[in-house]
């Protein structure tokens, strides 16, 4: 059932001993939403703990350090920033069918919870939770604001992407007026600027592998299993690299092709602006969003590239 802020308030004010589930492969928005909501529940006198199927990366420790995830037999199950129970990882089996409240911003939300507070136009789950806290007139602590800012900054690419709502900017303005103690620039540095040495070297290698087609409108980075072995790159290290295919000026579509099994390429498409890559991927048996989509192509690297080039060429016409 889809609900509004009023029903969500009633639920939160009357719940007890809550588990807050965040999605696997956690990011700044689900961690921020989980720990931000935990702070709000604490203001209401409700015990809670945040759970995540995967280990939370070190870079998010400023949100989790010193926060006690209380131990209790849960009476309330809440999911944040989770569109589908599949994304709960090992918690799907335990809690997937028992979620009472889901707070989310994904249009693709499967409506799996008893009650879903869905705001599909919001930049981030953290934007929804900030609005809810304001609606409820609860105190937003410094730690809570830090978490919610981080989520909004994460999902908007630091206010860079199309999905950045006016409200996201308004919330950032309100926070900057209210919380002098928060070092927003440091959060942004850790979320958007720093990388590990390994990642830096990997990105440098990727620059060498960029090939441009169709007058520079298409950039492909294709990595075979042999290449990964020769360069000493593991599959998880390749996660999140697709956006760098868009960094050249003229590029409209960037594609990262990774050989996952011999003769099978996992292709991640990114659109710089107007081209709908979801439509392109559908012609190749895949799908996704307008600006980020994917598909799997079978064949050797040259055959797979040719298929990508042909599909993009058609879309550009």
C-alpha 82/C-alpha 25 separation (Å) is 11
C-alpha 22/C-alpha 33 separation (Å) is 8
Q: Is 211 in the site for its own copies (CB under 8 A)?
A: no
x/- letters, 278..307, toward its own copies (CB under 8 A): ------------------------------
Q: Is 170 in the site for its own copies (CB under 8 A)?
A: yes
Please enumerate in sequence order all residues whose Cβ is within 8 A of that of 53, keeping only pairs 6 or more positions apart, or say none: 23, 24, 88, 89, 90, 91
Least Å distance, CB 59 to its own copies, is 8
For the chain, the farthest-separated pair of C-alpha atoms sits apart, in whole angstroms, at 61
CA distances from 232 to 224, 242, 258, 305 (A): 12, 19, 14, 23
Nearer to its own copies, 1 or 204 (CB): 204
Which tokens in the block code for residue 11? 């639920």
Question: Is-contact 22 125, C-beta < 8 A?
Answer: no
From the CA atom positions of the chain, what is the Rg in Å? 21
Question: Which residue in the block uniquely carries the two structure tokens 């969003």?
Answer: 289
Least Å distance, CB 184 to its own copies, is 7
| Segment contacting its own copies by CB under 8 A, of 30-38, 74-82, 85-93, 177-185 | 177-185
Site residues for its own copies, window 41-60 (CB under 8 A)? 59
**271, β-bridge pairs:** 253
Q: Is 213 in the site for its own copies (CB under 8 A)?
A: no
x/- letters, 77..116, toward its own copies (CB under 8 A): ----------------------------------------
Give the interface with its own copies as residue ranges (CB under 8 A): 59, 158-162, 164-170, 172-174, 176-177, 183-186, 188-190, 192-197, 200-201, 203-205, 207-208, 210, 246-249, 251, 272-273
């Amino acid at each position: 059932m889809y609900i509004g802020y009023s029903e969500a308030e009633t639920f939160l004010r009357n719940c007890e001993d809550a588990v807050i589930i965040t999605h696997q492969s956690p990011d700044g928005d689900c961690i921020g939403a989980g720990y931000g909501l935990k702070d709000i529940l604490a203001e209401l006198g409700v015990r809670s703990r945040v759970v995540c199927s995967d280990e939370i990366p070190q870079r998010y420790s400023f949100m989790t350090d010193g926060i006690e995830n209380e131990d209790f037999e849960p009476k309330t199950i809440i999911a944040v920033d989770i569109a589908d129970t599949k994304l709960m990882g090992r918690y799907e089996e335990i809690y997937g069918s028992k979620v009472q409240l889901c707070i989310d911003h994904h249009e693709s939300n499967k409506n799996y919870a008893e009650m879903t507070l869905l705001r599909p136009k919001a930049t981030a789950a953290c934007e929804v939770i900030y609005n809810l806290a304001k609606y409820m007139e609860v105190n937003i602590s410094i730690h809570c604001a830090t978490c919610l800012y981080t989520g909004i900054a994460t999902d908007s690419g630091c206010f860079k992407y199309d999905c950045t709502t006016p409200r996201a900017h308004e919330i950032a303005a309100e926070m900057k007026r209210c919380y002098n103690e928060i070092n927003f620039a440091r959060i942004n540095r850790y979320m958007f600027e720093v990388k590990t040495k390994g990642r830096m070297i990997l990105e440098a290698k990727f620059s060498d592998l960029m090939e441009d087609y169709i007058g520079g409108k298409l950039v492909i980075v294709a990595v075979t299993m042999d290449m990964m072995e020769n360069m000493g790159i593991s599959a998880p290290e390749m996660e999140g690299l697709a956006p760098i295919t868009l960094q050249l000026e003229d590029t409209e579509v960037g594609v990262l092709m990774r050989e996952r099994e011999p003769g099978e390429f996992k292709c991640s498409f990114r659109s710089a602006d107007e081209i709908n890559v979801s439509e392109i991927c559908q012609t190749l048996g895949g799908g996704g969003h307008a600006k980020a989509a994917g598909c799997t192509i079978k064949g050797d690297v040259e055959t797979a590239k040719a298929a990508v080039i042909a599909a993009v060429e058609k879309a550009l016409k």
